[in-house]
A and B are shown apart, each in its own frame.
Chain A
């Protein structure tokens, strides 16, 4: 796979369709698995890591799943290319920083990725646009079954699937739903949501997972408990909670429109105006303004841009994407100029009115 090809398009999960897509960006399920006959990755020497990578790569390349997978040996890639894959959510930050031989198998639609030699030997994830956990589970479960025919997983009848860190042991599952919650953030109601989630043992993270900031009003909600509950029950607890948060966000949005439509309309239009015209813009400001625009489109206050374009811009204005696009290394100030130019261009070509 040529990574430059990827800069021209975006993952299927960003297309902005699927149930509840006005608020739910994506649904993701990942499974952590280890091979019984090798030590865990952190305890493996470079030679053993290479053996694990060879062993799994061979099996991933042969995998007869629904989608053909392309395998990339990420440890052979430049840091910029690895960062690029992180921004696209195909590999984790930990995987990108890993030393030693590692790789990832990805589907061309970018909704399946099988990471080799992350914290665990195998971390498999499926991403779907919108609220679609059942479909994500069906697919990852199938991939897991197919892999299991080829390898012997480390499993224990008491502790379930064995993982390098006991926080993932049992099902090895992490169910995450990415939500766009601008109204709850604007009214500071989001704090109540956090408290409620902590009560029931769910984690809240930013756009890029653990330790990342909640940029652009994106929040990833996921389970923390992985043992003692079935995969289906874990998914159900996430679904129930997400349904409540969706209702909450929608009520607050409606109230905002009702109470002060003009001010809200002004705010989202100004955000759009800045993005259309700025000559230099930071990543942080971009995320903030795109978030306003996204809400404005979903509330029918602006119709000069479509949701998939906005979704893509969140990803494509990240540092590694801009540098891949320009085919050169850019310092922060240069990136801000490149970012502004890219946004202007995308918003001009995607304007339904001018292109009509």
Chain B
């Protein structure tokens, strides 16, 4: 069992901090954890100040775009930042799209990064097409929202085509 990083008591709280794409693990005992958590929730102003000071030295126009930030997932549109605030991913493709960041996070949670155990008997080799479907359906919704019906019709045909390919490649039913 890990010891608290601030004192010698046993660590009972394991906190994984996600900040600007970096992952930090803290192992704390109950009293140190309380202190740590109140420290981290209260001085929001400090954080704002420090980020402001960066903004001043930087060109604030470009810093908006956050250059080191991963682009959003092309299929479900989620950004890593959104995932961090929600705690839930948007689609299965996120695991490939954010593989590097997620590997670090998963190692913190599970201490391992490679699955062992049950594997689907039917290997999901059709996954690329399935991810295509997620993306196409999202685009279809956008096209309809924009009232771009010509585009929507084209997308609908593409979706049908991919679905057909999927059905014919799946052994069951």
Are B116's CB and A229's CB within 8 A?
Answer: yes
A149 is contacted by which of B96, B109, B172 (Cβ under 8 Å)? Answer: B172
Are B116's CB and A36's CB within 8 A?
Answer: no
Are A171's CB and B105's CB within 8 A?
Answer: no
**Stretch of A42-50, A239-247, A256-264 on the interface side:** A42-50
Q: Which residues of B contact A225 (CB under 8 A)?
A: 109-112
Interface 1/0 per residue, B109-131 and A, CB below 8 Å: 11111111111111110110011
Are B90's CB and A156's CB within 8 A?
Answer: no
Are B118's CB and A231's CB within 8 A?
Answer: yes
Q: Does B12 contact A (CB under 8 A)?
A: yes
Q: Which residues of B contact A228 (CB under 8 A)?
A: 110-116
B interface residue count range (under 10 / 10 to 19 / 20 to 34 / 35 or more): 35 or more
Q: Which residues of B contact A156 (CB under 8 A)?
A: 92, 95-96, 115
Q: Does A39 contact B (CB under 8 A)?
A: yes
Q: Which residues of B contact A195 (CB under 8 A)?
A: 10, 12
Are A165's CB and B118's CB within 8 A?
Answer: no
Are A160's CB and B115's CB within 8 A?
Answer: yes
Are B105's CB and A166's CB within 8 A?
Answer: yes
In the complex, chain A residues 97-129 whose Cβ is within 8 Å of any chain B Cβ = 119
Are B118's CB and A171's CB within 8 A?
Answer: yes
Are B1's CB and A199's CB within 8 A?
Answer: yes
Q: Does A332 contact B (CB under 8 A)?
A: no
Choose among A156, A158, A166, A232 the residue with the greatest number of B CB atoms under 10 Å from its CB. A166
Q: Which residues of B contact A198 (CB under 8 A)?
A: 1, 10, 12
In the complex, chain B residues 123-165 whose Cβ is within 8 Å of any chain A Cβ = 123-124, 126-127, 130-131, 133-134, 137-138, 141
Are B91's CB and A141's CB within 8 A?
Answer: no
B10 is contacted by which of A158, A162, A199 (Cβ under 8 Å)? Answer: A199
Are A153's CB and B89's CB within 8 A?
Answer: no
Q: Which residues of B contact A226 (CB under 8 A)?
A: 110
Are B117's CB and A39's CB within 8 A?
Answer: no
Q: Which residues of A contact B95 (CB under 8 A)?
A: 156, 159, 162, 169
Q: Which residues of B contact A42 (CB under 8 A)?
A: 86, 88, 90
Q: Does A349 contact B (CB under 8 A)?
A: no
Are B78's CB and A43's CB within 8 A?
Answer: yes
* Residue in A closest to B116 when the chains form the complex, CB atoms: A230
Q: Does A333 contact B (CB under 8 A)?
A: no
Q: Which residues of B contact A152 (CB under 8 A)?
A: 122, 124, 126-127, 130, 166, 170
Q: Does A164 contact B (CB under 8 A)?
A: yes
Q: Which residues of B contact A47 (CB under 8 A)?
A: 141
Give the shortest distance, in Å, between A75 (CB) and chain B (any CB).
Answer: 19
Q: Does A319 contact B (CB under 8 A)?
A: no
A37 is contacted by which of B110, B111, B122, B130 (Cβ under 8 Å)? Answer: B130
Q: Which residues of B contact A64 (CB under 8 A)?
A: none
Q: Which residues of A contact B106 (CB under 8 A)?
A: 159, 166, 169, 227
- B interface with A by C-beta (< 8 Å): 1, 10, 12, 75-76, 78, 86-92, 95-96, 99, 102, 105-106, 109-124, 126-127, 130-131, 133-134, 137-138, 141, 166, 170, 172-173
Extra contacts, 9 of them, besides A42-B86, A162-B95 (Cβ < 8 A), are A36-B130, A42-B90, A119-B88, A141-B118, A148-B121, A155-B119, A171-B117, A173-B117, A228-B111
What are 28 sample pairs from A and B whose C-beta atoms fall under 8 A apart? A36-B92, A37-B130, A38-B91, A38-B134, A39-B75, A39-B138, A43-B78, A43-B88, A148-B120, A149-B122, A152-B130, A155-B123, A156-B96, A158-B115, A160-B115, A160-B119, A161-B115, A164-B89, A166-B102, A167-B109, A169-B110, A170-B115, A170-B117, A171-B115, A225-B109, A225-B111, A227-B112, A227-B114
- A interface with B by C-beta (< 8 Å): 34, 36-40, 42-43, 45, 47-48, 119, 141, 144-145, 148-150, 152-162, 164-167, 169-171, 173, 195, 198-199, 225-233
> Top 10 nearest A-B pairs by Cβ distance?
A228-B112, A160-B115, A154-B92, A43-B90, A36-B130, A230-B117, A37-B130, A199-B1, A227-B110, A39-B91
